[in-house]
Amino acid sequence: MTRNIKIDEEIIIGDGSFTIIAGPCAIENREQMENIGAFLARLGIKIIRGGAFKPRTNPNSFQGLGLEGLKLMAEIKSKYNLKYISEIMDPRDIEMAFDYIDIIQIGSRNMQNFSLLKEVGKTDKPVMLKRGMSATIKEWIMAAEYIRLEGNERIILCERGIRTFEDYTRNTLDLMSIPILKEISDYPVFVDPSHGTGRRELILPASEASKSLKADGIVVEIHPNPEKALSDGGQSLNFNEFEALYKELM
């Protein structure tokens, strides 16, 4: 049995429902987030994503708006009645970000950042633990154990692809982790088809496959104008594309 993770009275993850989380790779500005918030609310999406702290490969790339981004999200959230998931990269930011974020995301690059895992384990917020890009399933479960042993059992795992020799896709989405995790753990399992493929045209088939394999949900990157996105535009869906995906899946 998958454990249920209650986000609020209406949103329960792990109860057999399929939850779609969407939003931009990064919070960029008010206009972008207003557009996205209004769009998601119109579709009935309840959880928005959007990085304020961005783990970028190149230190000269856009690093996110930090606290300013979180404050902007507080307005968008209450205006459109959304819950918010966002990545924390540094244990020192947990306290500052705490009241702004409903689900703490631990990114792939930090899956084995044990001091970060222990700190989020001391909170009572749901944590989405993304798979390390070179982590085995067992290592991933052990990383979750670091959070659980501190007392926080509200953990959601997110498959986001692993590094292989294949470079047609950005990562190799290991969809078999879904049934395997369902067998050996009781954590809800999400899939991130955006980082998992890095290619817009593969997001629909990856999402459909995830749903058939009984994933508890997906996290999808969207942007009002992907060509202008400050990060991950090539894997972000525009509003029409996302609406088509949403209708297909639901």
Q: What is the contact surface with ligand PEP in residues (CB under 6 A)?
A: 25, 51, 55, 87, 107-109, 130, 160, 192, 195
Of these partners, Mn ion, ligand PEP, none, which one is at the site of residue 151 (CB under 5 to 8 Å by kind)?
none
Nearest CA-CA partner of 98 in 120, 79, 76, 116: 120
The sign of the dihedral angle between the CA atoms of 18, 181, 87, 165 is: negative
28 lies in the binding site for Mn ion (CB under 5 A)? no
Cβ(32)–Cβ(40) below 8 Å: no
87 lies in the binding site for Mn ion (CB under 5 A)? no
Cβ(48)–Cβ(27) below 8 Å: no
Of these partners, ligand PEP, Mn ion, none, which one is at the site of residue 87 (CB under 5 to 8 Å by kind)?
ligand PEP
List 162's β-bridge partners, or say none.
172
232 lies in the binding site for Mn ion (CB under 5 A)? yes
Q: Which is nearer to ligand PEP, 160 or 200 (CB)?
A: 160
Question: Which part of the chain contacts Mn ion (CB under 5 A), choosing from 1-9, 23-31, 58-66, 198-206?
Answer: 23-31
Question: What would you report as the CA-atom Rg of the chain, rounded to the nearest whole angstrom?
Answer: 16
Which two tokens mark 72? 């902007």
Question: Which part of the chain contacts Mn ion (CB under 5 A), choosing from 126-134, 160-168, 184-192, 224-232?
Answer: 224-232
Using left for φ > 0, alpha for ψ between -120 and 50, and beta otherwise, residue 215 falls in beta
Of these partners, Mn ion, ligand PEP, none, which one is at the site of residue 130 (CB under 5 to 8 Å by kind)?
ligand PEP
Q: Which residue is nearest to ligand PEP (CB)?
A: 107
Q: Which is nearer to Mn ion, 25 or 103 (CB)?
A: 25
CB of 24 to Mn ion, least distance (A): 8
CB of 227 to Mn ion, least distance (A): 15
The H or E element spanning position 48 is strand 47-49
CB of 21 to ligand PEP, least distance (A): 10
CB of 80 to ligand PEP, least distance (A): 20
Cβ(108)–Cβ(195) below 8 Å: yes
Give the span between the Cα atoms of 213 and 207, in whole angstroms: 10
List 243's β-bridge partners, or say none.
none
Q: Look-up: residue for tokens 């209450």?
A: 78
In the complex, which residues of this chain contact Mn ion (CB under 5 A)?
25, 232
